Amino acid sequence: MRLSIWPGAGQPYGEVLEVARHAADTGWDGVHIADHFMPNAGSGRPTDAPVLECGSLVAALGAVVPRVRIGTLVYGNTYRHPAVLANMAATVDRITGGRFTLGVGAGWQINEHEQYGIELPPVKQRLDRFVEALEVLHGLLRQPTTTVDGQYYQLKDAVCEPKPVQDPLPILIGGSGERRMLGIVARYADAWNAWGRPDLITHKSAVLDRFCAEQGRDPKSIARTAQALTVVGGPVPEGLSMPVIGGSPEQLARDIAGYNELGLDELIVPDGLLGTGADRRKAMDTILALVRG
């Protein structure tokens, strides 16, 4: 099972870089960055707290942090035109020498859309638009020219040059909706990502397998990735609305074993509950040791 760190973009760039470099130096496999412009309303953080922009951040990390894969969790389609995003992704893959994973999703965070005046359509329309965006991304990143005559995106003989180093550059889709989103994953994704403890990811992965069977696709061709807030050697904070693993080292070891048992390809660890500075580096070393066995 691969292991990646997710440094929060709400901290100064120097701290993000410290986390990424420690991951690269000690044997972690990847670094992922979320794509948001402000904290989510109701997250417990002030909505005017600083947040670094994802596209700029992955390019910066890719230029100075060696070896590890760099990825996005995940670019929001509602505010990232797919043709522009394809060019951004190809450039970052060039910067990293072929180490970029393009993570995309349909978009969801209400307050950033409201503040910036960006439309957040109803779910069906949002997913319809996302499917068209995936057609654009697949075409521009993998074909010489791309023509799409959709309801939301229209391209005619469009080019994206230079192409990525990777052929193909992997596209990761974040989402877990069982009615439609996992069907979109089955059709378009090279990798899938969702929040959840092992039991939930096991269930969602089985649903994805069924969609793959319906579409005649080998489910093993889609890498499975997941994350949960992670606590190392301390009590789990009360009132958390997101999935959490760990607490004691013994519980963290059991949770990691659960991901291994379900066949997870990559465990992604948000750094929000790992502390800062030397404490965070020590927590990262503990997690790495548990995953590597």
Q: What is the pLDDT of residues 264-278, one digit of tens each?
A: 999 999 999 999 999
CA pair distance 103, 171, nearest whole angstrom = 6
DSSP state of 29: -
Beta bridge partners of 266: 2, 225
66 φ, ψ (degrees, to nearest 5): -85, 165
pLDDT confidence tier of residue 189, bands split at 50, 70 and 90: very high
Name which residue leads in pLDDT, 234 or 206: 206
According to the model, what pLDDT value does residue 77 have? Answer: 98
**In sequence order, which residues have a C-beta less than 8 Å from that of residue 257 and are 6 or more positions away?**
none
Collapsing DSSP to helix, strand or coil, 289 comes out as: helix
Counting every residue, how long is the chain? 293
Q: In the predicted model, what is the mean pLDDT of residues 105-126? A: 97
Nearest to 225 by CA among 204, 254, 252: 204
Name the percent of the chain lying above pLDDT 90: 96
Nearest to 106 by CA among 130, 85, 86: 130
Q: In the predicted model, what is the mean pLDDT of residues 64-81? A: 98
Name which residue leads in pLDDT, 15 or 239: 15
Q: What is the pLDDT of residues 207-220, one digit of tens each?
A: 999 999 999 999 99
Q: What is the pLDDT of residues 234-289, one digit of tens each?
A: 899 988 999 999 999 999 999 999 999 999 999 999 999 999 999 999 999 999 99
According to the model, what pLDDT value does residue 239 have? Answer: 87
Q: What is the pLDDT of residues 136-167, one digit of tens each?
A: 999 999 999 999 999 999 999 999 999 999 99
Q: Which domains does the chain have, with CATH numbers?
A: 2-217 (3.20.20.30)
Q: Are 61 and 36 in contact (CB under 8 A)?
A: no
CA 202 to chain centre: 18
Q: In the predicted model, what is the mean pLDDT of residues 15-24? A: 98
- What b/e sequence results for 100-117 when a residue is b if at least 16 CB atoms lie within 10 Å of its CB, and e otherwise? bbbbbbbbbbebbbeeee
